Each structure stands twice: as C-alpha cells, then as structure tokens.
Structure 1
Amino acid sequence: MPVAFVAALNDPTTLTGRTFTTNQATAGVEAVNQPEVLALELPSGNGTGQVRSIAALYADALKCGPLLGLTSGTLDELAAPAVDPSEGRRDLVLHVDTSYSLGFWKPFDSFRFGSEDGQAFGCPGAGGSFAFADPTTGVGFAYAPNRSGFRIWDDPRELALRETLFSTVLGQASQRPRL
C-alpha cells in the first residue's frame, strides 16, 4: 500500500481517514462481515457477493443483458477511454494516480487489466479482490481471496490468475504494470 495512503488512513482527520471510517459500525477490518454492516447501503464501499455472481454480472453488462439493464450507449461509454479530470489523475483518497469512467476504474500504466485496447472497466476491492468486464474478449472476471491482502491493486494471487487467463489462455497482452 502506498505510504501516503496508510498514513492518511490512520489519521481520522484526513479525507482518507474520514472516507474509510464514516461511522463506528464500519470502523476496522473486522467489522466488514458483520450482518449490520452488510445490510448498509454504502455506495462504493461495501459491495459484497459471491465471485461467481459478480463475474456473471460483469459478463451480463457486456451483453446489455437483463441483470443490470445497461443500454448499448452506456456500454459504449464504459468502454471508451477515460477522460482525465482537469486537476489530474491523483486520487485524493487513495493517494495514487488512477483512471475512472462512470465510477469504474479503467486500465492505466500502473494497473493494466483486460485487453490491450483499454476498453475494460472494473473495480478493485478490499484485501486484494478485483472484478472487471472486458468488452474485447467478452470476459467478466472476479476474484476474492480467502485471506485479506494489503494491496490496492495487483494482489499477487489475483494477478497470477488474471495473467494466466489473459496472456496464456486468451493470447492477450500481459496484465503486468508498465514501469
């Protein structure tokens, strides 16, 4: 994890600290699986599900299927290259450069996922989990570890699986970051 993120996370007066501890019910890693926390609706903060179902949801989005009801226009927007904010790519909560489109992460040099054309969109999660859709290959992908990790993205366990799928099975570009 980036040092600036960890430092800010441990200071409840920072934007990062306030973002991750919005109330006492959600404070601490041990709280995330408590029924009262799982019942809360916290946008972009507690998406929970079985990886098979999450992957199916992303795959359905690629077909503009009935689960999400996305239109082809929305899918086109999600697949389009991200437009950088006027103040730059620095995420003020995570303290790293990122790339977003319609609330989803898009591939960038430090975090490559999906096909080389950059149409993929998805979202990393706590502990090393990650899910995304790749319009080029039609893949809906989801991974969640059974033991929490400490990376914002490219958890080695998840990256090995994604690298095998895209480079070996699908013959696509490497998923490893460009340095």
Structure 2
Amino acid sequence: MEIYGFCAPGFEALYDAFAGNFRECGDTGAAFAVRQHGELICSLWAGSADRGAERPFTEDTLANVFSSSKGILAVLAMQQVAAGKLDLDRPVADYWPEFATGKASVTPRQLLCHRSGLVAFRERVKDNLIYDWQAACREVARSAPWWAPGSEQGYAPFLYGWSLGGLIERVAEKPLLELYREMLAKPLNLDGGFGANGHRSQRIADVSPLKQPLPELRENAIGRAIKEDRKGPVAMAFSNPVSLMMGTNSAEWRGALIPAANGHFSARDLAAVYGELAIEKSEILPRHWVDEASREQSHGRDKVLQAEVSFGCGFIRSSSAADLRFGGPQGFGHPGAGGSVGFADPEHGLGLGYITTRLGQSLFMDRRAVGLVDVLYGLL
C-alpha cells in the first residue's frame, strides 16, 4: 500500500503506524492528520475511496464520520453562547416554544451533555423522516423524554442533531448549513460539512464494514440492551426509524441534514477544528467558552451507551480508558461509529483527526485510532 502525505521531522514513526493499519487492521481507505500549535505536523492518506478500488483516496476526500459530527455541531452551539444569543441554562422552549411538549424545563446545557432524556422518538416514525430536516425538527419538538430531564445521563445518537440543530437555527436566525459555512467552513478552509453537498470537496468516500472485525478494547453492551428490550430507549435510539442504520452511501443520506450522524469530513478538517480549540487564541471560539465546553457537565454510566462516560457541552472528555484517551486529562473530542475520531488536547496544543472507509464495531475509538494516538504521544 502506497502512503501519501508528510510527517514533520521527528514524527516519521506515524507513517509506519498508519501503514500498519492497512497491513494489519483492514483499512482500505483512510486519512490521518495532526495540528500542533496551529501548524499541520502530519497529514497522511492512502487507499481507495470506493469499494471497487477505482477512485484513489486523497487528502481532501470526505468520509462519513457519524457521531464525530456531534463535536462540530457543539462548536456551532457554543459560538451562539459566546455571541450572547443562547443561554445554556435557559429553557430551550423560551427560544423554541413548540419544544415544550413534556420537556418545558430542558436547557441547552442538558441537550449538550445528554441529560435531557430526549434520546429517541417514543412513537414509530416513517423511514423517510430522517431525510426531511424540518419534519425531523418538528417531530423532536413534539416528542416526550424517556425520563425526567436532568435525572439521568442518556446519549442521544440521532435526536441530538435535530434538537440542538433546530435550536441553533432559531437563535441564529439563519439555516444551519449557512451558519456552518460562515462560522467554521470559511474561517478554517474546511473541505466538508454536514451531508455531502455544497462543500469544497466533491470527493466522497464509500463506507463499508471491516472484512475482519478488530479485537474489541471493551465490551459493547448496546447490542445486548437492544435484544433485552426491543421497545426500550436503547433499541429505539438506534432503530427508530430503521433507516438510521441503513443506506449511508445513498444519495438520500448524503443529501440530507442529519447533523448528529452524517457529517462528511476529511481528516484535515477534524484536525483543523480541534487544532483551533486546542490553542489559546482560537479564531472560532473564545478560550473561556472552550473551557466551559470541555468542563465536566455529566459523568456516569450512560443509559444508552451502557458505559461510563464523562461529557462536557457536546464533547466526550478524555479518560484513562485507551479508547477514550484524548491525550491528557484536559483532552476532549468525539469518536464516531466505525472508527473515526477528532479531538483536542489543549495541554499540547494539539488537534487530531482520523477517518476511514472501513467501519469497525467498537463503541468508541478502535485499535486503528488508538494505535496512532499511542505512537503520536510517544513522540511528543
């Protein structure tokens, strides 16, 4: 496998670690990028961008990063907080009256740190709902939480995007995609965005499962929870509607706005966003609000993820577990289903991004990203 790109002097071992993911871990198309103190110190890519191995993967190839999208959406929310348009502790319904149904007390902070109880649609919805932004936002607004808001931590795999995204649109008074382009894509020269249309790069990678699953770094108990209660919050969070887990290479999925799960970014994009959040004087968010976003807001065994997780405002915080170790204790970011990840480490002024076309089954980072992170920190 021919590897393209560069590593700054002293970081050449990253080249070998990245190549090892193709030799030993099943990668067939992937990219890895690191920024430190605002400078790109590593950008590597290799393989193909389609299942037929006819289109080469390039530095600006976009891949669906699934829940790694959530961190980008969180930045847009915190920008509205910094601008004085959104109060983290004022009820969402003050900005969005229709949202009050069964959850009039829910705050933006609770949405961001997954303590709203709004983890899934309680009633079965049509499969094509997820492709209709306005309809999905309306459905979220009229949906009741699964438990008393603020009482439990429960990750919202998909509703996070419609609830938070709908709120952002209302306080910013402009469409979410327009806001993204104005506040993030243009300032940071990003290739991708939510969905896969209207962005700088038209190089969209197809994703598919790893041919040989990687050894798990921890038990993924979500499948067991789904089997135990097919109508419970975990099952409904991932399968209502069933189209949430299907068709991620389709034109419908790529053309939709599903900001919790259909962000299409390059590794360089993720490194750019998190690299900005890792430095003292960021162009996209004042340091005070970065610190607030990365501060622990909720910690415990998550009722949906079935694992111990610490959340900030929209970000998962670094822990001692290998698959959630985002540098040191100040680190924060968001992994995505299948293996993608982006994170910031303010202690080292570092932002990182990894994307792949071969989807693993780990709950958080899998061995490919963990291996790259371990080598990187061995070089710092």
For the 8 Å contact 1:9–1:17, the answer to whether it is kept is yes
Please give the secondary structure, in 1, of the residue aligned with 2:261. Answer: coil
The answer to whether structure 1 residue 113 and structure 2 residue 325 are counterparts is yes
TM-score, normalised relative to structure 2: 0.39
Q: Which residue of 2 aligns with 1:16?
A: 234
Q: Which residue of 2 aligns with 1:59?
A: 275
Please give the secondary structure, in 2, of the residue aligned with 1:41. Answer: coil
Q: Which residue of 1 aligns with 2:353?
A: 142
Q: Which residue of 2 aligns with 1:47?
A: 263
Q: CA RMSD in A?
A: 2.2
Cα distance change of structure 1 residues 51 and 22 upon mapping to structure 2, 3 Å threshold: farther
User: Residues 83-121 of structure 1: CA distance to partner in whole angstroms, max 9, x if unpaired?
Assistant: 445xxx1111111111100020001233442333x1111
**Paired residue type of 2:261:** G
**Paired residue type of 2:309:** T
Structure 1 residue runs of 5 or longer lacking an equivalent are 171-179
TM-score, normalised relative to structure 1: 0.77
Please give the secondary structure, in 2, of the residue aligned with 1:142. Answer: strand
Q: Which residue of 1 aligns with 2:102?
A: none
Please give the secondary structure, in 1, of the residue aligned with 2:353. Answer: strand
Runs of 4+ more than 6 Å apart: none
Structure 2 residue runs of 5 or longer lacking an equivalent are 1-217
How far apart are residue 2 of structure 1 and its match? Answer: 3.2
For the 8 Å contact 1:2–1:95, the answer to whether it is kept is no
**Paired residue type of 1:114:** F
What is the rounded CA distance, in whole Å, between the counterparts of 2:363 and 2:344 in structure 1? Answer: 18
Cα distance change of structure 1 residues 36 and 9 upon mapping to structure 2, 3 Å threshold: farther
Q: Higher relative contact order at CA 8 Å, sep ≥6: structure 1 or structure 2?
A: 2
Identity %: 29
What is the rounded CA distance, in whole Å, between the counterparts of 2:368 and 2:346 in structure 1? Answer: 23
| Residues 86-165 of structure 1: pairs in structure 2 closer than 5 A | 89-110=300-321, 111-116=323-328, 118-165=329-376
Larger Rg: 2
What is the rounded CA distance, in whole Å, between the counterparts of 1:12 and 1:131 in structure 2? Answer: 32
The number of residue pairs the alignment matches comes to 160
